[in-house]
Amino acid sequence: MALLDIKFYGDPVLRKETHSVKEFDSELNRFAEDLIETMRINVGVGLAAPQVDDLRSLIVIDVSSEEDEENFEPLVLVNPDIIELSGNCVIEEGCLSIPEVRVEVERPEEIRVIYQDVKGNKKDLKCSGILARVIQHEVDHLRGRLMIDYLSSVKRDLLKSKLQKISRGEIPVGV
């Protein structure tokens, strides 16, 4: 397994649209495993391919560190598409590409997502809570969208200097 380099806020790759995966081969499997390893080493709950400079539609999720989710196995979602949304709730989010920034974001509480696993099998998942939250955050990355896009301009202004530092490459130590 290999650790992948995480791209930070300001890198244009984080604003690009991904393309769907058509080849479900051993290279895809290895890439998914590398993403999971990179997410774990960086203590993240999710990671999307564009965050490591790859424009395939693929995300990995691991919410096993969260309450009541100890038995959770890492999920690989290829070509995910959220087809139903309901309710809404405010939860604080972080992002491995925007270190040391946490923001409250309002999003739907329950979702239904269709996707393929790493072998290409079609899956259909309904979920809520932290899992639904992380999936929505990561699927946004596949569309070039970041959690700070949800903030009011006033709140974003408060983060301006932090964000500028990150985009200049002044990444906080220890993240």
CB of 111 to Zn ion, least distance (A): 17
Residue nearest to Zn ion (CB): 95
Nearer to Zn ion among residue 105 and residue 118 (C-beta): 105
Q: What own/partner pairs with CB < 8 Å and gap ≥ 24 does 90-95 have?
A: 91/130, 91/133, 93/133, 93/137, 93/147, 95/137, 95/146, 95/147
In SS3 terms, 76-116 reads as EEEEEEEEEEECCEEEEECCCCCCCCCEEEEECCEEEEEEE
The least distance separating Zn ion from the CB of residue 44, rounded to whole angstroms, comes to 8
Tokens for 124, please give them: 């259909």
Nearer to Zn ion, 95 or 113 (CB): 95
| 3-state secondary structure (DSSP) of residue 124 | strand
Report in angstroms how near the CB of residue 94 gets to Zn ion at its nearest: 8
Annotated active-site residue 33? The verdict is no
Q: Which is nearer to Zn ion, 60 or 95 (CB)?
A: 95
Please pick, among 73, 93, 138, 170, the residue that the annotation labels catalytic.
138
Interacting residues with Zn ion (CB under 5 A):
95
What residues act catalytically? 138
